[in-house]
């Protein structure tokens, strides 16, 4: 499996919703990259996780690869890239759903479930 990202956001973000907690073990970290900037070689397994998005992982080793809204950018796992380690955290969402042990330091933007769902698409019943 090889994932190449030619351009991406200048920061990572984190989500504490229930689907992301289940998928990642706690908080899900993503790095946005435009659809035409991502190139993948190797077997990808995709799961239709909602009416508007998919989640994908490597079919050989199970490593999570991305979340992607049908009409949005890739939200690739920053853990795929050693170079992403130095990126700052831009924001976290569903902070009121986070594990008590997951407290992210810094002055980044934080949104509760209600704040996020007031302006963004979301999966009904998930939190």
Contact residues toward Zn ion (CB under 5 A) are: 15, 17, 20
Least distance (Å) between residue 13 CB and Zn ion? 10
Least distance (Å) between residue 24 CB and Zn ion? 9
* Residue 15 or 111 with smaller CB distance to Zn ion: 15
Q: Tell the burial category of 13 from Cβ atoms under 10 Å away from its Cβ (0-12, 13-18, 19+).
A: buried
Nearest-5° angle of CA 91, CA 98, CA 14? Answer: 30
Q: Where are the alpha helices (DSSP H) in the chain?
A: 18-24, 113-117
Least distance (Å) between residue 61 CB and Zn ion? 23
Q: What b/e readout covers 49-66, taking b as 16+ CB neighbours within 10 angstroms?
A: bbeebebbbbeeeeebbb
* Residue 80 or 97 with smaller CB distance to Zn ion: 97
* Residue 44 or 127 with smaller CB distance to Zn ion: 127
Least distance (Å) between residue 58 CB and Zn ion? 20
* Residue 5 or 53 with smaller CB distance to Zn ion: 53
* The pairing of beta strand 89-93 with beta strand 12-15: parallel
């Amino acid at each position: 499996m090889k994932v190449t990202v030619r351009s991406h956001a200048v920061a990572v973000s984190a989500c504490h919703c229930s689907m992301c907690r289940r998928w990642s073990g706690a908080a899900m970290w993503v790095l946005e990259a435009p659809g035409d900037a991502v190139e993948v070689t190797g077997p990808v397994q995709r799961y239709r996780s909602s009416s508007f998005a998919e989640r994908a992982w490597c079919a050989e080793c199970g490593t999570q690869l991305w979340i992607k809204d049908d009409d949005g950018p890739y939200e690739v796992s920053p853990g795929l890239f050693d170079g992403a380690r130095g990126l700052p955290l831009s924001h976290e969402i569903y902070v009121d759903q986070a594990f008590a042990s997951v407290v992210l330091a810094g002055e980044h933007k934080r949104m509760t479930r209600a704040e996020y769902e007031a302006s963004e698409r979301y999966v009904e019943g998930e939190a």
